[in-house]
Amino acid sequence: MQTQLPVLKRTAKVVRREGDKLAIEYMGQEVTLEGAAARLLDKMLPYLDGSNGVGSIAERIAESPKRVQSLSQQLGQTGVLAFKDDDGERITGEQFYEIHRKYVNHWLQPIYDHPLWEKIVTGKASRAQVLGFAFEKYHYIEGAFEHMAIAAANATPEMMPHLARHFIEEYNHGDIYRKGLRSLFPDDTVLRAQPLPSTRALVNFLSESAGRNSFGYYAGNELLQMTENTGDDKDASSIDDFYAAMRKHYPYTDKVIDSFIAHTNADQKLGHENVFLEMCQSIPPLTRAEVDDALNIVRSMAEHLFLFMDGIDTFYSRFPTMPRAPSDLLSE
Amino acid sequence: MGQQFGVRRVYETAPKGDSVSVRLSDREVQLGSREFALYEKLAERVPSVQSEKEIAADLGMDEARLRRLTTALESAGLLYRQDAVPATLSGVDLHTLFNKILPSWLDEAFSHPFWERMTSGNGSRRMYSGWLIELYHYTRNANRHMPLSCAHTKEKAIKNMRAKHYAEEWNHYHYFLKALKALGFSEESVINSVPLPMSLALSNFMRQAAREDILAYSICSAVLEGTTVNRGAYNPYYEKCAELYKLPQESIAPIYAHLDLDVQYQHSDLFLDILNTVKTIPAARAGRVLEYGHQLVEHIWLWTDSIEKYYGVDSNPMPRPKFSKLLD
C-alpha cells in the first residue's frame, strides 16, 4: 500500500464549505469531509498528483502513514481518488458497461441543460430554429446510412452481427422524419437540403469512429441512444411535455412532431435497450488503453451532440435561411 | 415555386433610412421597407409546398401581382430562374466565378464577433492562446486529409499537384507549436491534447470532400488558402493582439513565418492550376463543388464560435487533455 501513488481525479473539484468542511464534487456527486478528516485531506491535497507514494505524503505532511493510507483508501472507494499503480489489469465487458453508464450520465448533463430546449418549450425559439431542429434531426438520422454502414463494413468478428443488425434495422429511419418535413416542404427540397456544419460534424465523427474502432463506435452510439430512451415514466412524461409545448407554440410543426414520436416508437419496438449490454458480454476483456480509447470516443460523442444542439441554436439564430438549399451556379 | 425560381444568397442586410440594403456577392440592392418585407416573405415561401395562389394570398395580393413582384425581384438579381442555370461550364469559368464569390464568402467566414472582441481589447490572452491551440490541431490534422485527397484522385496531373501541396505543408504545425511554447505551454501538453469538436470537424469535413470529389476538396483548400494570402488583412490582428494581451514577439514570429511560406509557395494559385486541367464540368457537379466551398465557410464561422465559447470559460482545461479513466 505504501508504494501506491494516489491521484485526485482531474475533474474533481474541492470546495471549502462552512466551518471546517471540505467537499469534493465529482461526476454529479459530492463527498463531504469534516473535522480531522477534512484537515488531513487539506494537507494531502498538494501531493495528490500521482507522483507521491502514501508513505512519502505522510512524511511530507508529518502525519502517520496509517492515517494517510486509511483516508486514501476511503476516498478511493468513493471514486474521487485513484491509484496510479492500478493500471495492469484488464476489465471485462460487463465492468466496462457499468463504467460507461456512470460516465455517460455525467457527460449527457450539459446536453439536457442546453438552452435550446427551454427556448422551444417557452415559444422563444425562432421559426428557423424550430424548423432547423427538425431538419437537423432528419439529417442526423439519415446519416445512419453512412456511419452504420461503415461500422458494419469495418466490424470486428465479435461486433459484426450486432452492427449488421443495427444497420439493417435502422437505415430507413430518416424517411420517418422526411415524411414529417414533407408536410411543409416538397420532397425534393427535403432530400436536397444541406445539414449544418455541426450536424455534419456529428455524422462524420460517427463515421470516422465506425471505421477505426467497432466497439468504441457502438459505445459512443449508445450515448446517443440513451437520449432517445423513454424507458421510465419520468423520461416519457418529460418528452411528452416537450412535444406538447412545441405543438402549442409552433402549430405548423404538428406533422413534424408526429414524425418525431413515430421515430421514438419505431426505436422502442426494436427493443435495443439491452443490445449494448449484450455486446459488452460478447467481447474479450479490455486493456486500459482500449478502455480509454473507447471512453474518449464516448466523451467526444457527447461533445459532438452538444455541438449539434448548439449549432441549431446559434447558427439558425445568426443565419436564418430555411431550408438550406444547396448551391448552384447562380445561387452564390 | 421552388421548381421555377431560386433565391440568391444574401450576405448582409442593413437598414438605410427608409430602405434596406441587401448585399449579394456582385451587387447591392436597395429595397423600400415594404418591398423588403414582401421579399422576405416570398423568399421564405419559394421552397415551400404552398401553391402560387396560396403564396399570393399570404402576401395579400393576387397571382398576377405576385408574378409582377417575382419578375421585379428577378430583374434586381434577388431571384433567378432555375432554367437559366447553365448546363455545363469550363474549369476556368468555375474559377472565375469562385474568384467573384470568394470575398463575400471570406467576409461571412470572419463575420463572427470573436474577431471584433479580440481586436477591441475585450478578448484575452487565454482566448488568443486557445485559438492558436485549435489552429495547431487543424494544421496537424492536415495529415488526415491532404494525403487522402491524393489517394482518391484519379487524374494524374491533379494527383501530382495535390501531392506537391501536401509535401510542402505536412509539417507546418511546428510553427504553431513553437508559438505556443513561447506562450508558456509545454510541448507535451500540446501534442497530447485533444482538439475541440469543431476543429476535428473541419478535418473530418475535408476528409469527406477528399473522398467525394477532388474539385470539392480543392475548393475547400482554396478557401482556406484565401484566408492567408493578404498580409494587410492578418497583420493588424496579430499586432493588435500582441499589444493588447502582452504577447511575446516569439509567439507571433512563427505565425508570420508560416504565412510568408504559404505566400512563397503560391498555394492560392493551386485551385486555378487544377481547374485549368478540367475542360468541362456539368452544372450538378459544379453546384456540389460550390456547396462544399460555402460549407467550409460555415465551418470556419462555427469553429470560431466554438473557440470563443470554450476558451471564454476560465475553468475549462487548456490544452484539453485526453480522457483517462484513471485520472478522470
Residue type, B87: A
Residues B43 and B132 in one domain: no
Q: Do B207 and A198 touch (CB under 8 A)?
A: no
Residues B77 and B100 in one domain: no
What is the DSSP-derived secondary structure letter of residue A52? S
What confidence score (pLDDT) does residue A283 get?
87
User: What does the alpha-carbon distance between residue A227 and residue A306 come to, in Å, rounded to a whole number?
Assistant: 12
Question: Which residues in chain B have their CB less than 8 angstroms from residue A300's CB?
Answer: 194, 197, 200
Q: What would the mean pLDDT of A155-176 be, rounded to a whole number?
A: 92
Quote the number of domains for chain A: 2
User: In this structure, what CATH number is given to the domain that contains residue B60?
Assistant: 1.10.10
For residues B143 and B2, the model is more confident at: B143
Residue A323 lies in a domain: no
Phi-psi domain of A123 (left: phi exceeds 0; alpha: psi -120 through 50; beta: other): left
Does residue A89 belong to the interface with chain B, where contact is any CB pair within 8 Å?
no
Give the residue among B301, B259, B317, B302 at the shortest CA–CA distance from B133.
Answer: B317
User: What does the alpha-carbon distance between residue A332 and residue A325 come to, in Å, rounded to a whole number?
Assistant: 11
User: What does the alpha-carbon distance between residue B249 and residue B231 come to, in Å, rounded to a whole number?
Assistant: 17
How long, in residues, is chain A?
332
Residue B186 lies in a domain: yes
Mutate to test the interface with A, among B26, B302, B322 (most CBs of A within 10 A): B302
Question: Which residues in chain B have their CB less than 8 angstroms from residue A330's CB?
Answer: 6, 8, 80, 84-85
Residues A68 and A104 in one domain: no
Give the residue among B98, B213, B209, B223 at the shortest CA–CA distance from B155.
Answer: B213
Residues A187 and A299 in one domain: yes
Residues A192 and A257 in one domain: yes
Question: Which residues in chain B have their CB less than 8 angstroms from residue A186's CB?
Answer: 2-3, 47-49
Residue B142 lies in a domain: yes
The last residue of a domain, from among A36, A54, A83: A83
Q: B203 by DSSP, 3-state: which?
A: helix
Residues B37 and B106 in one domain: no
Residues A161 and A271 in one domain: yes
What confidence score (pLDDT) does residue A275 get?
87
Question: Which residues in chain A have their CB less than 8 angstroms from residue B7's CB?
Answer: 325, 331
Q: Which domain range does residue B254 map to?
A: 88-311
Q: Do A11 and B328 touch (CB under 8 A)?
A: yes
Residues B190 and B257 in one domain: yes
CA A28 to chain B, closest CA, distance in angstroms equals 13
User: What does the alpha-carbon distance between residue B312 and residue A204 come to, in Å, rounded to a whole number?
Assistant: 26
Does residue B110 belong to the interface with chain A, where contact is any CB pair within 8 Å?
no
Residues A145 and A231 in one domain: yes
User: What does the alpha-carbon distance between residue A332 and residue B104 come to, in Å, rounded to a whole number?
Assistant: 9
8 A C-beta contact, residue B273 and residue B215: no
Q: Which domain range does residue A47 map to?
A: 6-83
Q: Do A197 and B205 touch (CB under 8 A)?
A: yes
Question: Which residues in chain A have their CB less than 8 angstroms from residue B208's CB?
Answer: 200, 204
Residues B40 and B75 in one domain: yes
Residue pLDDT, tens place only, A250-285: 999 999 999 999 988 887 777 777 889 998 998 889
Residues B38 and B121 in one domain: no
Say yes or no to pLDDT of A1 above 50. Answer: no
Give the residue among A7, A26, A29 at the shortest CA–CA distance from A86.
Answer: A7
Residue A78 lies in a domain: yes
Residues B104 and B177 in one domain: yes
Residues A112 and A52 in one domain: no
Q: What would the mean pLDDT of A38-65 be, rounded to a whole number?
A: 92
Q: Which residues pair with residue A22 across a beta bridge?
A: A16, A33
Q: Do A292 and B287 touch (CB under 8 A)?
A: no
Instruction: Compare all CA atoms of chain B with the CA of A291 and give the residue at the minimum distance.
Output: B325
8 A C-beta contact, residue B181 and residue B308: no
Residues B107 and B28 in one domain: no
The last residue of a domain, from among B84, B107, B135: B84
Q: Do A300 and B200 touch (CB under 8 A)?
A: yes
Cell numbers 451587387 correspond to: B27
Residue B43 CB-density burial (10 A; 0-12 exposed, 13-18 middle, 19+ buried): middle
User: In this structure, what CATH number is given to the domain that contains residue A255?
Assistant: 1.20.910.10
Q: State the count of interchain CB pairs (< 8 A) between A and B.
A: 153
The last residue of a domain, from among A43, A62, A83: A83
User: In this structure, what CATH number is given to the domain that contains residue A57?
Assistant: 3.90.930.60
Between B100-109, B136-145, B266-275, the lowest mean confidence (pLDDT) is in: B266-275
Residues A161 and A308 in one domain: yes
Residues B245 and B294 in one domain: yes
Q: What would the mean pLDDT of B216-239 be, rounded to a whole number?
A: 83
Crossing angle of helices A160-170 and A214-228, in 10° steps, is: 40
The last residue of a domain, from among B39, B56, B84: B84
Mean pLDDT of chain B: 94
CA A196 to chain B, closest CA, distance in angstroms equals 8
Q: What would the mean pLDDT of B142-166 be, rounded to a whole number?
A: 96
Give the residue among A70, A120, A134 at the shortest CA–CA distance from A244.
Answer: A120
Question: Which residues in chain A have their CB less than 8 angstroms from residue B205's CB?
Answer: 197, 200-201, 204
Say yes or no to pLDDT of A204 above 90. Answer: yes
Residues B178 and B227 in one domain: yes
Q: Which residues pair with residue A168 across a beta bridge?
A: none
What confidence score (pLDDT) does residue B206 get?
98
User: What does the alpha-carbon distance between residue A102 and residue A104 come to, in Å, rounded to a whole number?
Assistant: 6
Give the residue among B147, B117, B144 at the shortest CA–CA distance from B307.
Answer: B117
The minimal CB distance from A300 to the residues B197, B305, B326 is found for B197
CA B236 to chain A, closest CA, distance in angstroms equals 26
The last residue of a domain, from among B84, B114, B142: B84
Instruction: Compare all CA atoms of chain B with the CA of A48 and give the residue at the minimum distance.
Output: B327
Residues A215 and A272 in one domain: yes
Residue A109 lies in a domain: yes
Phi-psi domain of B43 (left: phi exceeds 0; alpha: psi -120 through 50; beta: other): alpha
Question: Which residues in chain B have their CB less than 8 angstroms from residue A99's CB?
Answer: 325
User: In this structure, what CATH number is given to the domain that contains residue B116?
Assistant: 1.20.910.10
User: What does the alpha-carbon distance between residue B56 and residue B69 come to, in Å, rounded to a whole number?
Assistant: 10
All 3 cell numbers of residue A176?
Answer: 420517418
8 A C-beta contact, residue B100 and residue B26: yes
Say yes or no to pLDDT of B225 above 90. Answer: no
Residues A169 and A256 in one domain: yes
Residue A324 lies in a domain: no
The last residue of a domain, from among A49, A65, A83: A83
Residues B103 and B162 in one domain: yes
Say yes or no to pLDDT of A87 above 60. Answer: no
Residue A67 lies in a domain: yes
User: What's the ipTM?
Assistant: 0.93
Q: Going along A58-172, which residue ranges are E strands?
A: 81-83
Quote the number of domains for chain B: 2
Residue A286 lies in a domain: yes
Question: Which residues in chain B have their CB less than 8 angstroms from residue A84's CB?
Answer: 326
Q: b/e map of A217-251 (b: 16 or more CB within 10 Å)? A: bbbbbbbbebeebbeeeeeeeebeeebeebeebbe
Q: Which residues contact B276 (CB under 8 A, 6 or more apart)?
A: B91, B92
Residue pLDDT, tens place only, B48-80: 899 999 999 999 999 999 999 999 999 999 999
Residues B135 and B238 in one domain: yes
What is the DSSP-derived secondary structure letter of residue A1? -
Residue type, B232: G
Residues A140 and A235 in one domain: yes
Say yes or no to pLDDT of A32 above 90. Answer: yes
pLDDT band at B126 (very low <50, low <70, confident <90, very high): very high
What confidence score (pLDDT) does residue B230 get?
64
Instruction: Compare all CA atoms of chain A with the CA of B87 and give the residue at the minimum distance.
Output: A329
Phi, psi of A22 (to 5 degrees): -125, 130
Instruction: Compare all CA atoms of chain A with the CA of B325 and give the residue at the minimum distance.
Output: A292
Phi, psi of A171 (to 5 degrees): -60, -25
Residues A249 and A175 in one domain: yes
Residues A44 and A107 in one domain: no
